[in-house]
Amino acid sequence: MSVIKIQGTDDTPTVTLDKENNIFEISGRSLPEDVVVFYKPILEWLDEYKNDPLDKTVFNFKLEYFNTASSKLLLDVLLKLEDIHNDGHDVLVKWHYPDDDEDMEEAGEEYSDIVDVPFEQVPYSI
């Protein structure tokens, strides 16, 4: 299975989807000009991954900021992880947020209420 490695910019997050090395992460800032185009390969990769996932998938979100358009696509990513979980596979979402950023903390809490996937809130100091 191919690896997705997208280097982040001021407007797009860094993305690593690497099944062989068990690295699944979206980090940085997400406000791409065309959010659908940006997230399309990520969602397609998850569709392929769903057919043969690892025994345990730990997906890390380390976002500093995301816009409203990105929030819908991030939910789509979480729904794909929910599908994998509902198929009987072990999935854990780790939502990392700066310990002084209530908005990012609340975003993680809201997502965890929407999707049926084990969720871990991980505060960190900047």
Asked whether residue 30 is domain-assigned, the answer is: no
What pLDDT does residue 21 have? Answer: 97
Cβ–Cβ contacts within 10 Å for residue 55, how many?
A: 7
Asked whether residue 29 is domain-assigned, the answer is: no
Asked whether residue 113 is domain-assigned, the answer is: yes
Are the C-beta atoms of residues 26 and 62 closer than 8 Å to each other?
A: yes
Asked whether residue 13 is domain-assigned, the answer is: no
- Number of domains composing the chain: 1
Asked whether residue 6 is domain-assigned, the answer is: no
Residue 102: band (very low, low, confident or very high) from pLDDT cuts 50, 70, 90: very high
Render the burial of 9-38: b for 16+ CB within 10 Å, e for the rest: eeebbebbbebeeeebbbbbbbbbeebeeb
Q: What is the mean pLDDT of the chain?
A: 97
What pLDDT does residue 126 have? Answer: 75
Q: E-assigned strands of the chain?
A: 4-6, 14-18, 23-30, 56-66, 90-98, 119-124
Asked whether residue 20 is domain-assigned, the answer is: no
Asked whether residue 77 is domain-assigned, the answer is: yes
Domain that holds residue 108: 35-124
Query: Which letter does DSSP use for residue 55 in this model?
Result: S
Mean per-residue pLDDT for 28-39?
97
Q: How many CA atoms lie within 13 A of 6 on its CB side?
A: 24
Mean per-residue pLDDT for 2-12?
98
Encode pLDDT of 55-92 as tens digits.
999 999 999 999 999 999 999 999 999 999 999 999 99
Asked whether residue 66 is domain-assigned, the answer is: yes
Q: Is pLDDT above 80 for 105?
A: yes
What pLDDT does residue 47 have? Answer: 98
